[in-house]
Amino acid sequence: MHKRRGLLIILSSPSGAGKSTLARRLMAWDPEIRFSVSATTRRPRPGEVEGREYFFRTPEEFRRMIAGGEMLEHAEVFGNHYGSPKAPVEAAMGQGRDTLFDIDWQGGQQVRNSSLAKDVVSIFVLPPSMEELESRLRARGQDSEEVIAQRMAKSRAEISHWAEYDYVLVNRDLDACVSELITIITAERMRRIRQPWLSDFVRALTSEGKEP
């Protein structure tokens, strides 16, 4: 089988729109898809394993990675730094494997502006309505009224960046949305630029039958 170039799949959405569920379903559809493991400066929590949940780095190490161009994207969240190391992504791409990024619009912008931009496929997931989004957040039973209000305000800010993405899905029905997501990935894998073997194949094909 001919090897293609791997994709960088960016999946973004406001909290409660179903991004995490879609990511799990996509990786169940194709277990070869690699989930991007972030680096972080926060301390490991009980049960977390280096290289599985995160790559745990000191602030000094993290700064060196940024300075050395080793991060595709990075951000500070509540005093801790998080980022996506470039090396594992490039290794997966070389093996023809896709990498899935569960990041927000700011991280997505950084990846789309990186040296790997031509291999990015960005997808934004919208809820069917703000009322449904709030209902999903309440159904979790995890947040206070104040936190829910904060999440809703943040959701509106995130949704304002929808037009920056290649594809936008409205998650009205989970199974239908999963099907649309798989269709996007299947089509993007077949794009000419993802098939580096085609040039040699066509050259050989058009040489068939010619006089030596």
Model pLDDT, residue 78: 77
Report the distance separating Cα 43 and Cα 67, nearest Å: 22
Model pLDDT, residue 1: 58
Rounded mean pLDDT for each run of 10 residues along the chain, 212 residues in total: 86 91 96 94 92 93 95 89 93 93 91 92 95 88 84 93 97 96 97 91 89 66
Model pLDDT, residue 71: 93
Question: The tokens 């979790």 sit on which residue?
Answer: 140
Report the distance separating Cα 83 and Cα 92, nearest Å: 17
Delineate the domains of the chain, giving CATH numbers in brackets: 8-191 (3.40.50.300)
Model pLDDT, residue 212: 63
Report the distance separating Cα 158 and Cα 198, nearest Å: 39
pTM value? 0.85
